[in-house]
Amino acid sequence: MSTQSGAPVGPVLVVGTGLLGTSIGLALRRRGVQVHLRDALPGRAREAADLGAGTDLPPDDPVLLAVVATPPGAVGATVAALQRERFAQGYTDVASVKSRPLRDLELAGGDLSRYVGGHPLAGSERSGPRAGRGDLFEGRPWVLCPGPHSAVEVSAGVEALARACGAVPVVMEAAEHDEAVAVVSHLPHLLAALVAARLAVAADTELAVAGQGVRDVTRIAAGDPALWTEIVRDNAGPVLAQLREVRADLDRLIETLSMPGQGLAGLTELLVRGNQGRARIPGKHGGPATAYQTVPVVVPDHPGELARLLHDAGAAGVNVEDLRIEHSPGQPAGLVELAVAPQAAEALAAALRSRGWTVHGEAPGQSHGGPAATAG
Amino acid sequence: MSTQSGAPVGPVLVVGTGLLGTSIGLALRRRGVQVHLRDALPGRAREAADLGAGTDLPPDDPVLLAVVATPPGAVGATVAALQRERFAQGYTDVASVKSRPLRDLELAGGDLSRYVGGHPLAGSERSGPRAGRGDLFEGRPWVLCPGPHSAVEVSAGVEALARACGAVPVVMEAAEHDEAVAVVSHLPHLLAALVAARLAVAADTELAVAGQGVRDVTRIAAGDPALWTEIVRDNAGPVLAQLREVRADLDRLIETLSMPGQGLAGLTELLVRGNQGRARIPGKHGGPATAYQTVPVVVPDHPGELARLLHDAGAAGVNVEDLRIEHSPGQPAGLVELAVAPQAAEALAAALRSRGWTVHGEAPGQSHGGPAATAG
């Protein structure tokens, strides 16, 4: 089969049938692409095949594309080994870092012209073939990193693969990709861990006043330490550069607070830069961040109340763009913030009030950032 | 009137009719308590009075309780001045720090036995009398900090005030309160700003791969820089202690990553402590953190779809405890994670599938922390 661009997709060899490899197999099989599965662990390729991700029989002839879905540290050596046996016309991978596989491939004497690195921005808290899903990549960005030596037809083939899996291809250089994930993924993870580590040694009574802010900041700190150790290790350079910048800001902050007689401009300046950075995160559908208005509604903690609220919002003809449920200790009723287009906020509040809901405030505030003083 | 404990609540003098002062007036008036309003800004007490928060006429006799709702830096001097004129039998405040007002009151020669500090954990992104709401404190913790010199009847009076406003009183020492908000509120805010400040100087292409993780971590970084400068300044001691601990952890992290030859145990150890701290945040209703199971459902981005989903969940007899909508760039459909009691997850997934919903995964994962690898 072929995609919109006309580039053929298969046959494909998937090497490593964990979550990502199996999901790629499932996605391609749904579109009729021929998929061969291979895994170093005995029985794992067979398990993925039994789930419908392809066949565990080796291909008779070189395939169009080999997708290496091993752990990141093994990608370069695996691609080089496959290339030596001429398993495929083109090679890609799905590792969450992109410079290291390229370096490893070069060191292993591989053919850089036949390799285009990839990173689908999709995942799950689960792993293994049974966690695979044919729709895992649906609508997700899939970063492609063609190098200066990459053959055009290999790039086209990897892009066709991403599209066939339902993803949206995004082209970047490997170094640029690694810097991007360092700042938008690895750094936030490590700083969430730094905050959460302070909670580990806090008193129970101190935790009793925890609000929504600290919950949001530390959510990702619950991630698997072994997995994140590997992720950070394989992108140590860009992560270190970010951490050093943060340390410089932190040093200035500590200095400012230690000498309040010198003024607090350094503190305010950091908070302003925080505002600016937060406002730059792209909004829904990749568009610019939209300043939705929030309509805060008191919702009793009973089954069906949230459904009733959203039904009433829908009956008012308003599309709820986002929704936050605020839990605070000792709160019998929840506060639900409905984010809607600014021009719809007033009408929604009025419609909900007329249906008996308690809606807070007259002129709803902006969604981005939420209540500034709530957690304080 | 009196509360369950029998302590009378009014008459009350509210000094400072901003958001909190006006909300206290509105809450007390709903319960028939006599409320006098006063504000340094001309016309502001009158505005609050017109909104139904009490009268702007001064009391003829000393009131039972004066509530000082001025900016934190003015609390001590204001209480001392009111005490000199014997305005009330007892005094409290609502500032988000508790050591500084106590110190300021002592320095101003005030009577510590007649003062019990308070901090209602409620707020809004809005300010001024018109932002006031009679239900602002409903079900919220209201920290009370009686000192060693506080008279028992003043403590009882302030506790009765908190209850009359619908809040849940939580007793702490002032220093303990300030350490608590440093670790669960001020530190997360500053670290969110440190992450967001990096986004301020990132390339547009780097921001294009932003996922849900960085959105959550940086949400509170959108807070008002001027307000947060004051909050942090007034609690500089405990905040500095937290920041120094974080810097020590950050130094160790940078050292570990700079010398990977020495092993990465330091990185893993930080991530494990992050897991531990995150797990300690209390759950809904102040109970222990519940490990809800999440059921991820694909929801088309059309009006009414979310309502239909929750209606179908309700029809299955399942109470949705929490809900997250995941937005990623370029995604035409949203992924909604429904958090439910673990024993209900499987039945909910089956019920939703039977109604035509696309539900991801067979055995849903845990809610706390969410997908570990999604953002990577």
Supply the CATH number for residue B313's domain. Answer: 3.30.70.260
- Which residues on chain A are in Cβ contact (under 8 Å) with B366? 125
Residues A139 and A199 in one domain: no
pLDDT at B371 > cutoff 70 = no
CA–CA separation, A348 and A293 (whole Å): 11
pLDDT at A146 > cutoff 90 = yes
Q: Do A172 and B205 touch (CB under 8 A)?
A: yes
| Helical H segments across A5-151, by residue range | 19-30, 44-50, 75-84, 99-107
The mean pLDDT value for A95-108 works out to 94
Specify the pLDDT at position B125.
55
Specify the pLDDT at position B129.
86
pLDDT at A145 > cutoff 70 = yes
Q: Report residue A126's pLDDT band, with 50, 70 and 90 as the boundaries.
A: low
The total of other beta-carbon atoms located within 10 Å of residue A288's CB is 11
Q: Chain A, 212-241: which have a CB under 8 Å from a chain B CB?
A: 213-229, 231-233, 236, 239-240
The mean pLDDT value for A149-168 works out to 95
Q: Report residue A365's pLDDT band, with 50, 70 and 90 as the boundaries.
A: very low
- For residues B37 and B14, is the Cβ–Cβ distance under 8 A? yes
In a domain, B365, yes or no: no
Residues B63 and B95 in one domain: yes
- For residues A19 and A126, is the Cβ–Cβ distance under 8 A? yes
The mean pLDDT value for A147-151 works out to 92
Q: Chain B, 27-66: which have a CB under 8 Å from a chain A CB?
A: none
> CA nearest B52: which of B32, B73, B82, B77?
B32
In a domain, B4, yes or no: no
Instruction: Specify the residue for token string 């405040």.
Output: B93
At which of B229, B253, B278 does a domain end? B278
Specify the pLDDT at position B333.
58
Chain A: residue nearest B171 by CA?
A205
CA–CA separation, B95 and A142 (whole Å): 48
Higher pLDDT, A81 or B289: A81
- Which residues on chain A are in Cβ contact (under 8 Å) with B273? 193, 196-197, 200
What is the extent of the structural domain holding A224? 177-279
Higher pLDDT, A195 or B208: A195
Q: Report residue A326's pLDDT band, with 50, 70 and 90 as the boundaries.
A: low
Higher pLDDT, B339 or B114: B114
Q: Do A222 and B275 touch (CB under 8 A)?
A: yes
The mean pLDDT value for B143-151 works out to 94
- Which residues on chain A are in Cβ contact (under 8 Å) with B21? none
Chain B: residue nearest A371 by CA?
B125
The mean pLDDT value for B127-142 works out to 86
Residues A20 and A167 in one domain: yes
Is B251 at the interface with chain A, CB within 8 A?
Answer: yes
CA–CA separation, B163 and B210 (whole Å): 43
Specify the pLDDT at position B144.
97
In a domain, B248, yes or no: yes
Instruction: Tally C-beta pairs within 8 A across A and B.
Output: 538
Q: Report residue A124's pLDDT band, with 50, 70 and 90 as the boundaries.
A: low
Specify the pLDDT at position B320.
79
Is B353 at the interface with chain A, CB within 8 A?
Answer: no
Quick: pLDDT tens for B228-274.
Answer: 998 899 999 999 999 999 999 999 999 999 998 888 999 999 999 99
Specify the pLDDT at position B223.
87
pLDDT at B370 > cutoff 50 = no
Quick: pLDDT tens for A54-77.
Answer: 999 999 999 999 999 998 889 999
In a domain, B307, yes or no: yes
- Which residues on chain B are in Cβ contact (under 8 Å) with A195? 187-188, 191, 246, 277
Quick: pLDDT tens for A251-273.
Answer: 999 999 999 888 899 999 999 99
- For residues B364 and B296, is the Cβ–Cβ distance under 8 A? yes
Q: How far is B118 from chain A (nearest CA, A)?
A: 13
Q: Do A170 and B368 touch (CB under 8 A)?
A: no
Q: What is the CATH number of the domain that holds B220?
A: 1.10.3660.10
Higher pLDDT, B358 or B170: B170
Q: Do A208 and B298 touch (CB under 8 A)?
A: no
Residues A51 and A146 in one domain: yes
Q: Do B373 and A125 touch (CB under 8 A)?
A: yes
Chain B: residue nearest A132 by CA?
B361
Q: Report residue B324's pLDDT band, with 50, 70 and 90 as the boundaries.
A: confident
Strand A333-340 versus strand B12-15 pairing type: unpaired
Specify the pLDDT at position B27.
95
Q: How far is B326 from chain A (nearest CA, A)?
A: 9
The mean pLDDT value for A91-108 works out to 94
Mutate which of A194, A231, A243, A276 to disrupt the B interface (most B C-beta within 10 Å)? A194
Cα-flanking dihedrals φ and ψ of residue A53, to 5°?
A: -90, 0
pLDDT at A3 > cutoff 50 = no
Q: What is the mean pLDDT of chain A?
A: 86
In a domain, B186, yes or no: yes
pLDDT at B42 > cutoff 60 = yes
Residues A195 and A269 in one domain: yes
Residues B313 and B247 in one domain: no
3-state secondary structure of A91: strand
Q: Chain B, 111-150: which have a CB under 8 Å from a chain A CB?
A: 121-126, 130-131, 133, 135, 138-141, 143
Q: Do B268 and A226 touch (CB under 8 A)?
A: yes
Residues B23 and B159 in one domain: yes
Beta bridge partners of B119: B143
Q: How far is A49 from chain B (nearest CA, A)?
A: 17
CA–CA separation, A237 and A242 (whole Å): 9
In a domain, A7, yes or no: no
Residues A131 and A260 in one domain: no
pLDDT at A376 > cutoff 70 = no
Is B346 at the interface with chain A, CB within 8 A?
Answer: no
Residues B75 and B159 in one domain: yes
pLDDT at B209 > cutoff 80 = yes
Strand B141-145 versus strand B168-171 pairing type: parallel
Residues B25 and B113 in one domain: yes
Specify the pLDDT at position A83.
97
pLDDT at B284 > cutoff 70 = no
Q: Do A209 and B121 touch (CB under 8 A)?
A: yes
Question: Which of A97-101, B5-9, B15-19, B151-155 has the least mean pLDDT?
Answer: B5-9
Instruction: Specify the residue for token string 């491939």.
Output: A105
Quick: pLDDT tens for B307-316.
Answer: 888 888 888 8
Q: Do A192 and B274 touch (CB under 8 A)?
A: yes
Residues A158 and A263 in one domain: no
Specify the pLDDT at position A361.
58
In a domain, A335, yes or no: yes
Q: Report residue A223's pLDDT band, with 50, 70 and 90 as the boundaries.
A: confident
Q: How far is A71 from chain B (nearest CA, A)?
A: 13
Q: What is the CATH number of the domain that holds A52?
A: 3.40.50.720
pLDDT at B1 > cutoff 50 = no
Question: Which of A79-83, A203-207, A334-338 has the least mean pLDDT?
Answer: A334-338
Chain A: residue nearest B207 by CA?
A281
Q: How far is B355 from chain A (nearest CA, A)?
A: 16
Mutate which of A94, A96, A98, A125 to disrupt the B interface (most B C-beta within 10 Å)? A125
At which of B230, B253, B278 does a domain end? B278
Mutate which of B217, B258, B321, B337 to disrupt the A interface (most A C-beta within 10 Å)? B217
In a domain, A369, yes or no: no
- Sheet containing A358-359: give its strands across: A322-326, A333-340, A293-300, A358-359
- For residues A368 and A278, is the Cβ–Cβ distance under 8 A? yes
At which of B138, B172, B206 does a domain end? B172
pLDDT at A151 > cutoff 90 = yes
How many separate domains does chain B show? 3
Quick: pLDDT tens for A237-252.
Answer: 999 999 999 999 999 9
Residues B199 and B233 in one domain: yes
Quick: pLDDT tens for B90-102.
Answer: 999 999 899 999 9
Q: Chain A, 162-191: which have a CB under 8 Å from a chain B CB?
A: 168, 170, 172, 176-177, 179-181, 183-191
**Within 13 Å and on the Cβ side, how many CA atoms surround B111?**
15
Q: What is the ipTM of this complex?
A: 0.74
Q: Report residue B138's pLDDT band, with 50, 70 and 90 as the boundaries.
A: confident
Residue B151 burial (C-beta neighbours within 10 Å; 0-12, 13-18, 19+): middle
Q: Report residue A366's pLDDT band, with 50, 70 and 90 as the boundaries.
A: very low
Structure tokens at B127: 């300010």
